[in-house]
Amino acid sequence: MAYDFKKLEERLNSLTNHFESEIASLRTGRASPALVENIKVDAYGSINPLKNVASVIVEDAKTLLVQPWDKSLMETISKAIETSNIGTQPVVAKDSIRISLPPLTEERRKSLIKVLKEKMEETRISIRKARDEVWKDIQEKEKAKVFSEDEKFRLKEEMEKKIKQGGDKLDQIAAKKEREIMD
């Protein structure tokens, strides 16, 4: 009887996607909507991500343009951007907010790399937890005589191969982001 690794594969994909979305907000040398679109804005009595109350456009390599759908939110959005710790002051125009991104300092690059590594380690911990859950399940099924002992070790090898693939994909994503930050 074969073991179904579908849940493990889905979990690994979900962790990888989460990691990618987490690091998308890390600033590289170029302006990107991902930098600000998840900033929390207090609008209409609830907290919303910026992307739900405004459009974010890349004006050029160093400038983002935020256009609120409701102009009465200009001040609120501007304050949210100021307090978001992206390292820049928004400039409010008539119907939009311009965010000019200063060049990254070496110190800021190093702190971004540190955050990247922390997020990567959090994801690795989640991957290890997923691996442990699957291994425990395989062992319980072997004890219940669903699998033979040989089958258990063959499944462990297969599981480790899938975990390694997930880890390698994570490494590739992190290495690409690190290059973007350092450029």
Residues of the chain with CATH 3.30.1360.40: 30-100
Whole-number Å distance between alpha carbons of 115 and 109 = 10
Q: Which fold has domain 6-23+105-182?
A: Topoisomerase I; Chain A, domain 4 (1.10.132)
Q: Does domain 30-100 have CATH number 1.10.357.10?
A: no
CA within 13 Å, CB half, 40 = 6
The type of residue at 97 is I
Residues of the chain with CATH 1.10.132.20: 6-23+105-182
Q: For residue range 16-50, what is the model confidence (pLDDT) as tens digits?
A: 999 998 888 777 767 788 888 888 999 888 999 99
- The region that residue 28 occupies, defined by phi over 0 for left and psi between -120 and 50 for alpha, beta otherwise, is beta
What is the reported pTM? 0.71
pLDDT at 1: 59
Q: For residue range 3-15, what is the model confidence (pLDDT) as tens digits?
A: 889 999 999 999 9
Whole-number Å distance between alpha carbons of 59 and 35 = 14
The per-type count for the chain, helices as H runs and strands as E runs, is 4, 6
